[in-house]
Amino acid sequence: MTDLSPISAVAEQPSNPDISAITALCKAAGDPLRMQILKVLQQNAYGVLELCQVFDIRQSAMSHHLKILANAGLVATRREGTTIFYRRNPRNTDVDLQALQQVLFNTVDDARLDLVLAEHLTQINSERASASVAFFNRNVARFEQNQDLIASWADYGDSVEGFLDSSLVANGTAIEVGPGYGQFLGKLASRFDQVVALDNAREMLDQCESRATQQGLSNIQFILGDTAMAQSQGLKADCLSLNMVLHHNPTPADIIADCASLLNKDGVLLITDLCAHDQEWVRDTCGDLWLGFEPEELTRWANMAGLVEGNSLYLTQRNGFRIQLRQFSAGSTAR
């Protein structure tokens, strides 16, 4: 958390903020429900109907509150197809208000979310996750074909493997979350003493294990579960890979936080994912929950989890999609 008091934060501003802008921001934040909305949007984005479900209020009322927050620069919108997602605006467009806004967000982050709201939020995230798992279990035979529509491993796999080689600090244990058909497991198995393949879709994991067996990979443990379960089992890794996983996950910031806690000291988290795009068809065809991510989103989530940004590499695919390869290090923050 930024160690910055409200007085010093505002005092460091080089110019004189507009009083009306300050008033609008304070008015937007000066409502208990809107403060709870800012808490809910701390690390994730939600649509209006989802927020209505969380707060159990009418759509018109929720839209009213979101408009006030947006006008004050506290939330930002992102259209994905026909759905508009709301998330907290990490940096107010009014430069004079950025320090004040950050102090507000820091204070909100320290507050507790109402238990009823937390339960509603968990239900929505569980519904998102269940839909994703069901998609992969239904489409296990088409996984590679679907992936090739966006980014074929043959097109970017060499870059990922080279990225791994340049990122290694230790070679004890590696964990790959969502290994797919196991295209990356061969490389991991050759570089690490022990590899864990972690997947929450049974059909996908079985297919992955079968292919690994055919390749004679003997130092891989296949575990059905997610990163939260891995934490409960006390798993630790020197390297953790999220290869084209986050855009299928309902709570990407939470997954990154989980991964940070799974890393040993000086461990490395490698993220390969899509940059933000507008190809809505991937939702139905490939089971994507998010249309990629802006690079600064991944950086912000990683920093919030205590990770330090390292190298980055960006690849443009023939079909116009862009892939980002990102390295984040635990350093002395490993828990």
Q: What is the 3-class SS of 156-197, one letter each residue?
A: HHHHHHHHHHHHCCCCCEEEEECCCCCCCHHHHHHHCCEEEE
150 shares a domain with 76: no
Angle between helices 19-29 and 32-40 (to 10 degrees): 80
74 shares a domain with 170: no
**What's residue 277's pLDDT?**
86
**What's residue 105's pLDDT?**
85
Tally the residues of the chain.
335
Answer whether residue 124 is part of any domain. Answer: no
Q: What residues make up the domain containing 12?
A: 6-113
Answer whether residue 119 is part of any domain. Answer: no
**What's residue 255's pLDDT?**
93
**What's residue 261's pLDDT?**
96
148 shares a domain with 73: no
160 shares a domain with 57: no
Q: What is the rounded CA–CA span in Å between residue 35 and residue 32? A: 5
105 shares a domain with 249: no
Q: Read off the pTM.
A: 0.74
CATH of the domain at 168: 3.40.50.150
CA distances from 14 to 2, 95, 99 (A): 19, 10, 11
**What's residue 335's pLDDT?**
44
296 shares a domain with 156: yes
145 shares a domain with 101: no
Q: What is the rounded CA–CA span in Å between residue 264 and residue 86? A: 34
Answer whether residue 226 is part of any domain. Answer: yes
**What's residue 43's pLDDT?**
67
163 shares a domain with 221: yes
Answer whether residue 132 is part of any domain. Answer: no
Q: Domain tally for the chain? A: 2
77 shares a domain with 201: no
Intervals of the chain under pLDDT 70: 1-17, 43, 80-81, 332-335
**What's residue 16's pLDDT?**
65
Torsion of CA 156, 162, 166, 167, to 10 degrees: 50
Angle between helices 115-138 and 202-214 (to 10 degrees): 50
165 shares a domain with 44: no
311 shares a domain with 210: yes
- What digits encode the pLDDT tens for the residues 209-234? 999 999 999 999 999 999 999 999 99
Give the up-direction half-sphere exposure of residue 102: CA atoms within 13 A in the CB hemisphere. 19
Q: What is the rounded CA–CA span in Å between residue 57 and residue 55? A: 6
262 shares a domain with 145: yes
Answer whether residue 181 is part of any domain. Answer: yes
Answer whether residue 136 is part of any domain. Answer: no
Task: Give the end of a domain, one of 113, 133, 152.
Answer: 113
Answer whether residue 177 is part of any domain. Answer: yes
Instruction: Tell me which H or E stretch contains 285.
Output: helix 282-286
Q: What is the rounded CA–CA span in Å between residue 121 and residue 51? A: 9
